[in-house]
């Protein structure tokens, strides 16, 4: 389990770092962090549903950007919970709200493909 927790921590750390880099206007550095949290998610998926379930604790994370990103990746696995997080976040302002709205749009129109299973 320690390995799963470490991967979840990597996911959180890099989502937060991407948000901070984008706020500073550094999309390139933000993209490097995105690659790292995507890698953490891919490694979690190698554990199957146990890995996805480990990430699901982030649906209640205090940071909205972390909640939204986890929900975006967990839509197929935890549809109702993830949609609830995204719908709540979409009511706010800012980048996480925009991301939540876009993720919901992609889900509705069938173009969402972050975790095809």
Q: Average pLDDT for residues 97-110, to the nearest whole number?
A: 96
Q: Inform me whether the pLDDT recorded for 1 exceeds 70.
A: no
CATH of 2-109, one of 1.10.10.10, 3.40.50.1000, 1.25.40.70, 3.30.565.10: 1.25.40.70
pLDDT value for 35? 97
pTM passes above 0.85: yes
DSSP the chain: -HHHHHHHHHHHHHHHHHHHHHHTT-HHHHHHHHHHHHHHHHHHHTTTHHHHHHHHGGGG-SSHHHHHHHHHHHTTTSHHHHHHHHHHHHTS-SHHHHHHHHHHHHHHHT---S---
pLDDT tens digits along 44-94: 999 999 999 999 999 999 999 999 999 999 999 999 999 999 999 999 999
């Amino acid at each position: 389990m320690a390995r799963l927790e470490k991967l979840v921590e990597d996911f959180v750390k890099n989502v937060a770092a991407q948000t901070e880099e984008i706020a500073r206007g550094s999309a390139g550095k933000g993209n490097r962090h995105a690659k790292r949290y995507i890698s953490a998610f891919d490694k979690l998926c190698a554990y199957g549903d146990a890995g996805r379930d480990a990430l699901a604790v982030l649906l209640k994370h205090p940071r909205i950007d972390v909640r939204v990103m986890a929900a975006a990746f967990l839509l197929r696995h935890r549809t109702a919970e993830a949609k609830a997080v995204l719908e709540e976040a979409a009511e706010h302002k800012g980048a996480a709200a925009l991301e939540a709205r876009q993720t919901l749009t992609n889900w509705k129109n069938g173009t969402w493909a972050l975790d095809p299973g």
